[in-house]
Chain A
């Protein structure tokens, strides 16, 4: 009897945290209703608390999950402009005469494609067996000067991995963690215009930037790296800036009409945009080809990158697809997916506010086709879902 009750409690707790799309090793021990504020804090923490944010643990950081309504924050980004404190993510500078050759070997995407200063490249960093150490963005400034932005929960592991590989290759590189920098993502159709209004002088430095391009701008707040990148499927910037100026910049953006947005809406926005979350959609036990990230792996030119041999040997039996729930309910991660070609599993799922429906990513057999109907086991009931591409919403428009 006791064990049944324990099972229910455990299942409920697990569900609570897996629904936040946190991998188990990042999940807090208990879903406490009050927040202990025991984790690491970004330079903007006090401003979040003052704004009434609900603070939760994310990868050891005390972060705002919302400031009132996660749904309203989601719509604010799709319809206007919102900003996220993403200072828990870590910029890492890689420089030196051997930087390009080092990154060409370290990353599954090819940094040699980058020739335009400020150009960005999304890539996985792989283990020898093809498992994903992390997914990251690399910004090119010169063949001996790159900046990489890595995930918060993997930052320490990434740095250790990068140093180990540099030593193995005897690469002539310097790897510097930049915890002296903070990051604010400003996203939405009006994000760029409102950023320019908030930060006088920034427009001239950034209006010519194409998507996935960045520029360093020297202004009244010191050096801000303005990147036309993001994690929402909307236009906007990610600003990498001096940590000690983060509060002033945040307030200036707020005064220009950019609303603070929590990590809750960040998750529904990225899910609708079809963007992977490390630890949920892929991790060290999954390779990019079975994680919807084949487009980020560059096999051309016979380039020798870590994990290449394992990817070439992979049988491509699995794929990551989108699911749109056709019955009523809410898809979450770790639900069983039943298809005519065998079973699969959802990796992330949620209610999708811009679609007023529920969506998920699912790892399923490769024979499953777009448009197929599959079934998802939600608490013992098999509900119908349609297989879609991994991109549900882009620039405010629903694509599926």
Chain B
């Protein structure tokens, strides 16, 4: 399972990418998609919703289970990935390409406080 070093991670298995324009893209990790199995349904937050760090904001459902997704950092939802909603299996195919939502962070520095790839791998493989 892959954990790109260019991304940041949470203990709850989200990945986070800081974009050049200051927004933040969020998805679930390869480890998470593998643990969940075939993804069949996504429920994503409404655009415009303001999220607190750690807030339960989305659902990923696989054939066997539903899993909550938490906001990695505080921010406003500015976009959700309709292509992933329409083809949930894309999360299994490439969890880092099939992003879930983008945030405009309250504080961009929050991203650097998240786990790096090595720290996440330690948790994921604990």
**Chain A residues near B (Cβ < 8 Å):** 8, 12, 15-16, 19-20, 33-34, 54, 65-66, 69-71, 74, 264, 267-268, 328-330, 332, 350-351, 353, 358, 379
User: B115 to chain A: closest CB distance in Å?
Assistant: 16
In the complex, chain A residues whose CB is within 8 Å of the CB of B35:
33
How far, in whole Å, are A371 and B5 apart by their CA atoms in the complex?
53
In the complex, chain A residues whose CB is within 8 Å of the CB of B124:
33
User: A63 to chain B: closest CB distance in Å?
Assistant: 13
Chain A, Cβ-Cβ closest to B68: A12
**Chain B residues near A (Cβ < 8 Å):** 31, 35, 37-38, 40-41, 43, 56, 59, 61, 63-68, 89, 92, 124-125
Q: Are A20 and B64 within 8 A (Cβ)? A: yes
A330 and B61 contact, Cβ closer than 8 Å, known pairs A69-B38, A351-B40, A351-B41: yes
In the complex, chain B residues whose CB is within 8 Å of the CB of A66:
37
How far, in whole Å, are A16 and B66 apart by their CA atoms in the complex?
6
Q: A69-B37, A264-B64, A350-B64 are in contact. List 6 more A-B contacts (CB 8 A).
A: A16-B65, A65-B64, A71-B89, A264-B37, A329-B61, A379-B59
Q: Would you list 17 pairs from A and B whose C-beta atoms are within 8 A, ordered by A residue?
A: A12-B67, A15-B65, A15-B66, A20-B65, A33-B124, A54-B37, A65-B37, A65-B64, A70-B63, A71-B63, A74-B63, A264-B37, A264-B63, A329-B43, A350-B64, A351-B41, A351-B63
In the complex, chain A residues whose CB is within 8 Å of the CB of B31:
33
How far, in whole Å, are A264 and B37 apart by their CA atoms in the complex?
10
User: B124 to chain A: closest CB distance in Å?
Assistant: 7
In the complex, chain A residues whose CB is within 8 Å of the CB of B56:
8
How far, in whole Å, are A70 and B34 apart by their CA atoms in the complex?
11
Interface of A is mostly: mixed
In the complex, chain B residues whose CB is within 8 Å of the CB of A33:
31, 35, 124
How far, in whole Å, are A33 and B37 apart by their CA atoms in the complex?
12
Q: Are B63 and A350 within 8 A (Cβ)? A: yes
Q: Are B38 and A70 within 8 A (Cβ)? A: yes
Q: Are A268 and B66 within 8 A (Cβ)? A: no
How far, in whole Å, are A264 and B40 apart by their CA atoms in the complex?
14
Chain A, Cβ-Cβ closest to B38: A71
Q: Are B67 and A268 within 8 A (Cβ)? A: no
